[in-house]
Structure 1
Amino acid sequence: MAWTALEQMDLKGKRVLTRVDINVPMEGGRVTDMSRIDRIVPTVKAILAKGGKPVLLAHFGRPKGKVVAEMSLSHVRPALEGALGVPVRFAEDCVGPAAEEAAAALPSGEVLLLENTRFHPGEEKNAPELAAAMAKLGDVYCNDAFSAAHRAHASTEGLAHLLPACAGLLMAEELTALDKALGNPARPVMAIVGGAKVSTKLDLLGNLVAKVDTLVIGGGMANTFLAAKGIGVGKSLCEHDLAETAREIMDKAEAAGCKILLPEDVVVAREFKAHAESRIVHADDCPEDMMILDAGPIAVAAIATALGRSRTLIWNGPLGAFEIPPFDSATKSSAQIAGKLTVNDGLVSVAGGGDTVSALKQAGAAEEFTYISTAGGAFLEWMEGKELPGVAALG
């Protein structure tokens, strides 16, 4: 899809209402992971460089339309100011007299952070009156929060229709990377989808089998597909009630010419704990008193072969119980192979989702991937083929 880029906008002397995602983890009053703050810095600095005055809109936590002191964005302001290297002012509301006064008084070269948008019940309801009140604070709207783009909220969707709108640098980067992965990809295209349950990724699998050439299914999800083929999975996590659904997905894949890769061998154990006694068995040879916790080396070799033939990779979800060794092996090995192919052979590799990002970092492969999205829900809905309201509003 087409969108207006930040670079195309005349911002000199204008207040730029910028929707960002700085919903960061905190402990003891300190931000424990700066990733989301760091990723908005280029957009804010670009606005300042063009003579604009950034007025930041964001949510923090889930206050459910009420003022919750612990969820005030004032707690994030010091970390934000440190990352930007310029003064960051704070307004105690995101609409109304306090916000209007602060926005009007904002000098060039400084940034204004508005209070948590979700302190207002109208935010998540996309209330037109709240969006209109926000619009009074700026001359231009810039959405740099792809991670919130799957929500039709006042600050992510409603506001985009009331002011000249554009995509921030991070938003544009996400959209460009995603278009390369599924919109207009270099083929063959391969997807790796893992995680615990098929039930949470039905739409995703249904969309992918029609769009990719190879689909690797891993994690607890693979157990459901193995069981659907009549293979015993012992005490493994498995949604037996979704066997028919799994068979339908496999039939749809076959009709679309998409090859589904399930693990030929697996790592089994009696206990789900770090360094539990485990062994590798053929996928159809899982003992009744054991559980499948990872894919085996033959499965990893098959993934490596498929990766070597692919030009584009989309990855969402781990291949095993990657949080605890030795059940992190398949995820780690496959991530490292994908990383090397990206660096050496030009594989376009795009990954997203909380567990996926953690797994790739753990494998030391995150820096080698073409693009890593921290968007979570928005990334998943995009992979499912759904329209994202916050993106559509920029078109």
Structure 2
Amino acid sequence: MAVKSLDQIDLKGKRVLVRVDFNVPMNDAGEITDDSRIRAALPTIQTLLENQCKMTLMSHLGRPKGQVNPKYSMAPVATYLAKLLEQPVHLVTDFSDGGQHATVQLLENLRFSPGETKNDAAFAKTLAAYGEVYINDAFGAAHRAHASIAAVAELFSVKAAGHLLTKELHYLKDALKAPERPFVAILGGSKISDKLKLIDNLLDKVDRLIIGGGMSYTFLKARGLEVGTSLVENDFLEEAKALEAKCEAKGVALTLPLDHLVAAEFKADAAAEITLDAAIPEGYMGLDIGPETINLYATHVREAKTAVWNGPMGVFEWETFATGTISVAEAMAENGGLTVIGGGDSVAAVNKVGLQAAMTHISTGGGASLELLGGHDLPGVVALEVGE
């Protein structure tokens, strides 16, 4: 079973139903504040236009909980997309006719219908009336078994992944099957519990696992070190010990912080101090990796032939505690090998320092990236599989 890409199917003049991820942030005035998800779908839309397709785009926006809520209307997205494409985009508010009202049309928010999140077969059938070919280009939602992603795809014999989804699958799955070595994974973020499956899967692939951010304090406490008032998941200390033992058994170098940037209070303007070693004094909390750790991590990242990064090294939203995360981003940019930014806050960090162009691939998915890197099948991808 394989997933076809756009260039493997006949698109000429077809009516195409396309699942995109237009779940974009908006301000109180209903203006889009970050259009990156819309722009990410443009290569697929352009390919369909070049093939004289008539297309119906569909997406969710926010969490309207199965009810019509004007706050979550796709109308601003339709207007914005029309400007980008320099052609009309018709907003379809009544799904019952399955009709084509323009070359490019966008269905109103899928989550206005309770059938979407329930993966409802009847709702999927309603959606399927809008095309003879189905394309999924919504990587950010591919880990959800929803009607527009899973159930609807089963109703099509001709289906494929869009350019974005194809690229995501290549870099987050295929490229990591036989990576150039050394292969280094850098994991951050606050909780080890969120990344257990990911770590477990990566241990069979990586040569070095670098841990930063809040999750590093759980590992350090599991080693018997003092971590002050730092964020620790005490329920996962045994898991941390087990993962360290697994690293040793598999020959994976587990790299933890040597020093920290700490403060007595959790606030942006807190007075920051550097610890003398990996232990954190009583009354202080770790909020970023320290200078010695930064040098160590940056060296390992620069020397890697394959590097995957997911999660910040500290509270990077606060300037005082952003240095560790920014340093990892800069080291990734200086790396001449394959560099993959695995979604979420790491993407925000790379964008913050304007290093997007220096990375091999920046994933558009948060949860979907973690699921795929964790070795899981995504419902939206499984639903696209067709016999060879």
TM-score by length of 2: 0.95
CA distance 1:284–1:356, shift in 2 (3 Å): closer
- Give the conservation status (yes or no) of the 8 Å contact 1:205–1:384: yes
- Give the conservation status (yes or no) of the 8 Å contact 2:56–2:107: yes
CA distance 1:284–1:13, shift in 2 (3 Å): closer
Post-superposition CA distance 1:297-336 (Å, at most 9, x none): 2212221232233211111100111111221111111210
Separation (CA, whole Å) in 2 of partners of 1:13 and 1:337: 46
Per the alignment, residue 154 of structure 1 pairs with: 147
Post-superposition CA distance 1:187-245 (Å, at most 9, x none): 22111110111122221222222221111111010001000000001111111232111
AA partner of residue 160 (structure 1) = A
Post-superposition CA distance 1:141-188 (Å, at most 9, x none): 011101110011111111112121011111111111213542332222
Separation (CA, whole Å) in 1 of partners of 2:258 and 2:180: 28
Per the alignment, residue 33 of structure 1 pairs with: 34
Is 2:343 aligned against 1:353?
yes
Per the alignment, residue 289 of structure 1 pairs with: 283
**Moved >6 Å (runs of 4+):** none
Separation (CA, whole Å) in 1 of partners of 2:174 and 2:206: 13
Separation (CA, whole Å) in 1 of partners of 2:149 and 2:237: 38
Per the alignment, residue 130 of structure 2 pairs with: 137
Is 2:380 aligned against 1:387?
no
SS of the aligned residue for 1:63 comes to coil
Separation (CA, whole Å) in 2 of partners of 1:89 and 1:241: 51
Is 2:174 aligned against 1:173?
no
Q: CA deviation at 1:275?
A: 4.1
- Give the conservation status (yes or no) of the 8 Å contact 1:181–1:350: no
Per the alignment, residue 117 of structure 2 pairs with: 124
Separation (CA, whole Å) in 2 of partners of 1:9 and 1:51: 14
SS of the aligned residue for 1:264 comes to coil
AA partner of residue 76 (structure 2) = H
Separation (CA, whole Å) in 2 of partners of 1:81 and 1:291: 49
Separation (CA, whole Å) in 1 of partners of 2:278 and 2:323: 20
- Give the conservation status (yes or no) of the 8 Å contact 2:66–2:113: yes
| Percent identical | 47
- Give the conservation status (yes or no) of the 8 Å contact 1:181–1:313: no
Per the alignment, residue 328 of structure 2 pairs with: 334
Is 2:10 aligned against 1:10?
yes
- Give the conservation status (yes or no) of the 8 Å contact 1:43–1:168: yes
AA partner of residue 26 (structure 1) = M
Deviation larger for 304-313 or 17-26: 304-313
SS of the aligned residue for 2:173 comes to helix
TM-score by length of 1: 0.93
- Give the conservation status (yes or no) of the 8 Å contact 1:179–1:185: no
Structure 2 residues not aligned, in runs of 5+:
none
Residue from 247, 250, 259 that aligns with 1:265: 259
Post-superposition CA distance 1:271-295 (Å, at most 9, x none): 2233432221233442101111111
SS of the aligned residue for 2:214 comes to helix
SS of the aligned residue for 1:318 comes to coil
SS of the aligned residue for 2:313 comes to coil
- Give the conservation status (yes or no) of the 8 Å contact 1:152–1:390: yes
Per the alignment, residue 368 of structure 1 pairs with: 358
AA partner of residue 22 (structure 1) = F
CA distance 1:183–1:7, shift in 2 (3 Å): same
Separation (CA, whole Å) in 1 of partners of 2:355 and 2:77: 29
AA partner of residue 166 (structure 1) = A
CA distance 1:225–1:181, shift in 2 (3 Å): farther
- Give the conservation status (yes or no) of the 8 Å contact 1:90–1:112: yes
SS of the aligned residue for 1:227 comes to helix
Is 2:313 aligned against 1:313?
no
Aligned residues: 383
**How does 1:63-82 map onto structure 2 within 5 Å?**
63-82=64-83
- Give the conservation status (yes or no) of the 8 Å contact 2:139–2:364: no
AA partner of residue 8 (structure 2) = Q
Is 2:184 aligned against 1:190?
yes
Separation (CA, whole Å) in 1 of partners of 2:9 and 2:87: 22
Post-superposition CA distance 1:340-390 (Å, at most 9, x none): 11xxx2x10111232111111223323211111121110011111111010
Post-superposition CA distance 1:124-152 (Å, at most 9, x none): 11111211221111110011101110011
CA distance 1:34–1:308, shift in 2 (3 Å): closer
SS of the aligned residue for 2:362 comes to strand
Residue from 206, 221, 238 that aligns with 1:212: 206
SS of the aligned residue for 1:190 comes to strand
AA partner of residue 303 (structure 2) = R
- Give the conservation status (yes or no) of the 8 Å contact 1:210–1:253: no
- Give the conservation status (yes or no) of the 8 Å contact 1:196–1:221: yes
Separation (CA, whole Å) in 2 of partners of 1:367 and 1:189: 21
CA distance 1:79–1:61, shift in 2 (3 Å): same
AA partner of residue 79 (structure 1) = Y
Q: CA deviation at 1:249?
A: 0.8
